[in-house]
Structure 1
């Protein structure tokens, strides 16, 4: 029995880290990994499938955005369904669906078929975000939540890098693009095996009045002597609860900071080709190595943020990071033709400090809402962020072509600064608090 050595009379929110909790964190991070992988691999695969399928510019754009639109829908609906029927059912069904859809992608014969399958994959991955983050939050003790959510943030970049590696090795293989599209089956199966034995969230069971089942899960996972938190009572799930009073302000706060981190990130990515080109990594397989370097920088930024959120606190972390990120973008905007050293330094600073908001946009929605609407709130916040992603993909290139690099970077700095201002007024401090306290409508975080 895992966790059988935990001392008697320990609250669920105060247990120590166990192998089981590490497994929950690792395999719950599968959703972000798969999004990074799916979005990364399509860019590589399109270069090879275009002549085979006769893909024109219209369908190239449609295929590129299909998964993102699906993510928006999946996140919006998936959270609500998860709050209604439970975490574990969706936790498993979701991955099985992605396996089936990924296999079908290998046999497409037209752009329309690929668009439909990518859209459905997007819905499924989008639904997984609120499912998985709720699982992590409801099993993980308070002092490890920022680390667990930081792992989720990092796994997006790990997935993207894995896609670039797969593309690197399959790029020149005959019909390799089909294997690229189907390659997501491999991580899906690993994730499915890892998730299969994870039980239902005891907090969700308690919220549904299933007390005996909740206590059985706690006994199975942690052993004897664990007291259930009193923050969860049998409550009817009402999706509309998110859009009233304190919870409306909280979901707006999380959605805004997510947008303010996501949109400028796409702006800074426009410097990617310039940077990797300067190091001779601008074409073919070499460009994939450059993308790996960029993704690794952003991933590294999530690591110190995992620990600073606990030692420094959530509020100082998000304020400090937004401020530094805004300055880095402003420098790139005011000196658009800066020396390569300046560009690399500013890019590196932005990428590393983006880990603060990048981690907290996962952590905040899971701490600021009670169990009965936690997944729904996470889904809404994530859906808002994906609106920003779609807008960025379509608006930023044309904005840059019309106004130039400098104004584009300054616009990114302004958006980041807006995130800073919103955080000054609305960012709460949840460090060291129980979910009972942070999810309460009376909690102010001050």
Structure 2
């Protein structure tokens, strides 16, 4: 008789890569939608009369929308399921992206990009929860971390698309904005075939459906887990109770300190390169694309390191290196340094920033139990996007008033604070089951509750 195995004990297979693709659409579109506006804005500003405030509003609208989407979408997916919202989100993204082509006033673009942000923000926690709940424990960090890599794939792709669309002339910025409809349609069709999460079904008292999905995917000798989940009511405030509050604060703080400078610098990177003296022709756009493509190099070693050496060191030390790199950029601005030297500093910063970015997906999905996993991820997404939105709104005015040097000193300071937060707060969850990871450093009552929620699957 074959030995009964759990989902978390199964080796990587074709199904896991399918789920990675379904979930990765969220990160890809997030990166693409945020990236394409950088090139589109640079072109649009030359044709449409806009104040710095309006430019900032357009740049931050998607991030502000993600605050609303993250807060509501994560909670809703814990209540009504992962798949339903996950499918319809992509259809809405395709429709709204297309509508951007027809705007005739900058405020209309602000509204549409805010709506895009809501949908993408709602998609984020579902993607993380699904990938987490289907992943083998030995590969969970790599699979979740890989989702963040797709953010950079989307981001870099947006710059390449924008660069080549510059040849479209005066309407190029419209075509850039509508281009996000294409991946939206592709993901909508693909997600129609995906299953609901067995862990979520069992958590809602639908164990028979959960077991049927597990058997269909893995075979009759595989069960959901040794300690399967029983019905538990989802309450939003649970992310602050039973020992969860510490991790909610930790995730929101370290994630915010990373993405505020990431989004601010990334949204206006063509203008930044221009201030470094590379604004002739289209070099600043090509440079932006090259920089973001090379950033992906940082992802691959971290997918190995996070499983080999753990979560803590792969978060702590990159924060410090990113801080030093940005301080170096600040100190060399105005010195007429070579294009290669400036790009090299950007690459050092970006490679390490990309590498540690995998924890945006790992920690919030591992540290919380199933009944609030989406809620916690959504809350963290919402907080980090609203803080990023404020940073993106203020960035162009700050850059114009104080210059590149001061801007990079401030961003470097944020990364140094992130280094201190990670050093004193980051837990280690390597090779833990979801039950163990969601019980780490919590009260005995909370740990007992996690095991009460889980009984053997028959």
Q: What's the TM-score once normalised by structure 1's chain length?
A: 0.90
| Alignment partner of 1:194 is 2:193 | no
| Alignment partner of 1:204 is 2:162 | no
Whether the 8 Å CA contact 1:72–1:123 is kept in 2: the answer is: yes
Task: Give the CA deviation at 1:443.
Answer: 5.1
Equivalence map 1:18-417=2 (5 Å) = 18-49=13-44, 55=50, 57-173=52-168, 175-229=171-225, 230-265=227-262, 282-334=279-331, 336=333, 339-340=337-338, 343-417=342-416
> d(CA) in 2 for partners of 1:47 and 1:400?
15
> d(CA) in 2 for partners of 1:169 and 1:81?
39
Whether the 8 Å CA contact 2:142–2:304 is kept in 1: the answer is: yes
> d(CA) in 1 for partners of 2:407 and 2:163?
31
> d(CA) in 2 for partners of 1:109 and 1:334?
41
What are the superposed Cα offsets for residues 329-372 of structure 1, whole Å, 9 maximum, x if unpaired?
33344555565466444332221111332111211000000000
Task: Give the CA deviation at 1:46.
Answer: 3.5
Q: Which residue of 1 aligns with 2:430?
A: 431
> d(CA) in 1 for partners of 2:99 and 2:406?
43
What are the superposed Cα offsets for residues 295-333 of structure 1, whole Å, 9 maximum, x if unpaired?
123222222111110011101211221222223233344
> d(CA) in 2 for partners of 1:26 and 1:290?
28
- Name the CA shift for 1:167/1:274 in 2 (closer, same or farther; >3 Å): closer
- Name the CA shift for 1:288/1:336 in 2 (closer, same or farther; >3 Å): closer
- Name the CA shift for 1:40/1:334 in 2 (closer, same or farther; >3 Å): closer
> d(CA) in 2 for partners of 1:8 and 1:296?
45
> d(CA) in 2 for partners of 1:68 and 1:163?
17
Q: Which residue of 2 aligns with 1:4?
A: none
Task: Give the CA deviation at 1:36.
Answer: 1.6
Whether the 8 Å CA contact 1:302–1:354 is kept in 2: the answer is: no
> d(CA) in 2 for partners of 1:104 and 1:267?
25
Q: Secondary structure at the match of 1:192?
A: helix
Task: Give the CA deviation at 1:183.
Answer: 1.6
Task: Give the CA deviation at 1:163.
Answer: 1.7
Task: Give the CA deviation at 1:266.
Answer: 5.1
Whether the 8 Å CA contact 1:24–1:195 is kept in 2: the answer is: no
> d(CA) in 2 for partners of 1:283 and 1:146?
42
Task: Give the CA deviation at 1:160.
Answer: 1.8
> d(CA) in 2 for partners of 1:402 and 1:41?
25
> d(CA) in 1 for partners of 2:53 and 2:285?
24
> d(CA) in 1 for partners of 2:341 and 2:165?
35
Structure 2: 5+ residue runs without aligned partners? Answer: 444-458
Q: Which residue of 2 aligns with 1:3?
A: none
> d(CA) in 2 for partners of 1:182 and 1:275?
26
Whether the 8 Å CA contact 1:207–1:372 is kept in 2: the answer is: yes
- Name the CA shift for 1:434/1:332 in 2 (closer, same or farther; >3 Å): same
> d(CA) in 1 for partners of 2:421 and 2:304?
23
Whether the 8 Å CA contact 1:267–1:412 is kept in 2: the answer is: no
What are the superposed Cα offsets for residues 394-425 of structure 1, whole Å, 9 maximum, x if unpaired?
33444445545444333333322221221222
Task: Give the CA deviation at 1:214.
Answer: 0.2
Whether the 8 Å CA contact 1:75–1:382 is kept in 2: the answer is: yes
Number of corresponding residues = 437
> d(CA) in 1 for partners of 2:357 and 2:396?
23
> d(CA) in 1 for partners of 2:382 and 2:102?
30
RMSD: 2.6
Whether the 8 Å CA contact 2:203–2:230 is kept in 1: the answer is: yes
Q: What's the TM-score once normalised by structure 2's chain length?
A: 0.88
Please say which of residues 254-263 and 160-169 is displaced more in the overlay.
Answer: 160-169
> d(CA) in 1 for partners of 2:245 and 2:135?
25
> d(CA) in 2 for partners of 1:118 and 1:440?
38
